[in-house]
Amino acid sequence: MRLSQRIAGVPVHGAGVALSLRPDGALLSATGALTAHTHGSYPPEGVAPTAAARRAALGTVAGASRSAADTLAVRTESAAWFDPSLIDGDGPDVAAIPAYRFDVAAAGDLWRVFVAAGPGAEVLDAWTTGRSLARAVCDADSQGEERRIGTPCGAAGSYPVVRSEGQPRVAGNEDANRVYGWLGDTETFYRHYTDLGSLTDLIGVDLGDGGGKALRATVRVCAETCPYANAYWTGGRGAVLGGAVLGLDVLAHEITHGVTERTSGLNYVNESGAVNESMSDVFGEFTELATARGLPADRWKIGNGTAVGVVRDMRSPRSGPDPQPETYRGPGWAPATHSGAHPAPDNGGVHTNSGVGNRLAALITDGGRAGGRVIGGIGLAKAASLYWTVQTQLYPSAGYPALASTLTTVCRNNIDDNIAGFTESDCAAVTQAVEAVRIPLLRTRSGDAGE
C-alpha cells in the first residue's frame, strides 16, 4: 500500500510512504520520506498554476533544450509543494514551499519544471524526466521463430525494426503503421488523463545503445497459429501481437500490464490477477474511448475491429463469447484457488473473474441501470483520474474488496482535496456501482482499512 503526503489538499512532490502489510492487515514495515516543515502559502485566489509561472517554465525549457518557444508544449501542470530535500537530500532543515509543477515536451524529451507560487515566478528546479515519446516497431513477417520473440525489438538478433520514432510510414505494412500510431495514442492517453508524465519513461525498454528508452512492439508474430490470435506483454522486451488481434484497446491492454508492473505490482494469480487483468481492460478501453474514433456500438467491447472480433464485453460480461461473472463471486465466478501445489485453470480464473472489475468500471464511467436502480456515470476524465490514483495505491495481493475500498476512499479524498472537480454525486455513483457488482468493502478497525 502506498500513501502520499498532502498539505491543504496539495500533494508534496516526492513525498510518500510504502507500507508492507500482512494478509490480516497488520503492518510489517514502512519506508519512505515526508516533508516536516513548510514556508509560505498559495495565493488567495487559488492553487491553479499562473500564466507567469507557465511562461517561466517554458522559458527555462526553451533555453536548456535550445528549442524555439513555439515548439514547446505543456503536457501537464498542477500545484505541488516543493521540498529540495526530497529531491537531493539537501539537509534536514529545508522546508517545502508552494510551487507549480509543469511537464513540458521539447525536442523529443520531457522536462519537469518547478516554479515558486509567488511574486517573480522563480524557477526552483528543472530536469529531463525521459523522452516524451519514443517508439520502435519490429516485424516478424508471419515467421514463427519463437526464439526471436523473446528478444527485445531492436536488440541484436531481434526481428527487424521497420519503423522507429519520427520515421515515415512503412510501405506495404499496415500492421506496423497501425501499432506505431496506437503506441502514440496510448502515450497520449496516459499523458493527458493521468499525472504519470511520460509512459515511455516508465515502461520503455532501454537497449543500452545510446538511443534511450522506447515503447517497443513486435507485429505479425506467429506461434501456435498464423495469423496468431493472441497478444501479450513481455516485461523488458515490450509487446508482442499476432495479426488476428490487432486493435488499439488490445495494445493498450498489454501496455497497461507494463504500467501495473511498475505501479501496484498486482500479482497475476487468483483474485489479484483478476484485478490485474481488469485494470488492463479498463485502461485499454479508456485509451480507445479517449480517441473518440470508435462506434457507439463498440463501446466497452474489447477486441472490436480485430480479426477474431469481440473477446470481452465489459458492460455486459455475461454476454461475451466466453461469459464472465458480473457480480463478485456470482454466477460464472471461476475458482480463485491456484497454488503451486494445486494449480487452477487460468492462474485461478484471471481472465474470467476480471468481468466483475470490467462491469464496475463501465458503470462508474457511463452509469446505467443495475441492481434495480439507475446509476449516474462520472465520465471518462474523472474515471481515468480516479482509476489512475487507485492503480498507484493498490498493492500486489489486492483483491476486489481492496479495489472497491480504494475507489471509494480516493473519490472521497478527491472531494476533500478539490481534485478534478469531484462532487458528492460522483462519489455516490462510485459507491452505487460498487454495490451493484456486490463487492464488499474491506473491514475497518479504528478507522483504518484491513483485510
Residue whose entry in the numeric block shows the C-alpha cell 501456435: 224
Instruction: Looking at mean pLDDT, say which of 17-26, 126-135, 239-248 comes out highest.
Output: 239-248
What the block records as the C-alpha cell of 228 is: 496468431
More confident residue, 277 or 95: 277
- Give the model's pLDDT for residue 449: 39
- Give the model's pLDDT for residue 143: 75
- Give the model's pLDDT for residue 450: 37
Residue 77 and residue 47: Cα distance in Å, rounded? 11
In the predicted model, is pLDDT for residue 451 greater than 60?
Answer: no
Closest by alpha carbon to 76, among 225, 193, 179?
193
Residue 175 and residue 243: Cα distance in Å, rounded? 7
93-97, 127-131, 347-351, 368-372: least confidently modelled range: 127-131
In the predicted model, is pLDDT for residue 21 greater than 70?
Answer: no
In the predicted model, is pLDDT for residue 28 greater than 90?
Answer: no
- Give the model's pLDDT for residue 276: 98
Residue 177 and residue 271: Cα distance in Å, rounded? 36
Residue 233 and residue 239: Cα distance in Å, rounded? 5
- 351 given a catalytic annotation: yes
State the Cα torsion 84-89-95-98 to the nearest 10°: 20
In the predicted model, is pLDDT for residue 54 greater than 80?
Answer: yes
Residue 136 and residue 138: Cα distance in Å, rounded? 7
Query: Mean pLDDT throughout 14-35?
Result: 74
- Give the model's pLDDT for residue 445: 43
Q: Exposure pattern of 370-380 as b/e (b: 16+ CB <10 Å)? A: beeeebebbeb
Alpha helices in 51-153 (DSSP H): 51-65, 85-88, 146-149
pLDDT digits over 367-415, tens only? 999 988 999 999 999 999 999 999 999 999 999 999 999 999 999 999 9
More confident residue, 393 or 26: 393
Query: Mean pLDDT throughout 118-123?
Result: 92
pLDDT digits over 425-437, tens only? 999 999 999 999 9
Residue 300 and residue 310: Cα distance in Å, rounded? 10
- Give the model's pLDDT for residue 90: 47
Closest by alpha carbon to 252, among 308, 317, 178?
178
State the Cα torsion 430-436-439-445 to the nearest 10°: 60
pTM for the structure as a whole: 0.78
3-class DSSP state of 162: strand
pLDDT digits over 36-46, tens only? 899 999 999 88
- Give the model's pLDDT for residue 314: 98
- 342 given a catalytic annotation: no
3-class DSSP state of 122: coil
Cβ distance 293 to 299 under 8 Å? no
- For 272, phi then psi, to 5°, come to -65, -30
Look at strands 10-21 and 2-7 and give their pairing: antiparallel
269-273, 399-403, 445-449: least confidently modelled range: 445-449
3-class DSSP state of 126: strand
How crowded is residue 85: how many other Cβ atoms within 10 Å of its Cβ?
18
Percent of the chain exceeding pLDDT 90 equals 63
Closest by alpha carbon to 227, among 134, 306, 318, 337?
306
pLDDT digits over 192-215, tens only? 899 887 899 899 998 877 667 899
Q: What is the mean pLDDT of the chain?
A: 89
Query: Mean pLDDT throughout 53-72?
Result: 93
Q: Which of 77, 165, 254, 271 is catalytic?
A: 254
Residue whose entry in the numeric block shows the C-alpha cell 457507439: 296
**Residue type present at position 129:** T
Give the pLDDT band of residue 131 (cuts 50, 70, 90): low
In the predicted model, is pLDDT for residue 191 greater than 90?
Answer: no
- Give the model's pLDDT for residue 20: 66
In the predicted model, is pLDDT for residue 424 greater than 90?
Answer: yes
Give the pLDDT band of residue 446 (cuts 50, 70, 90): very low
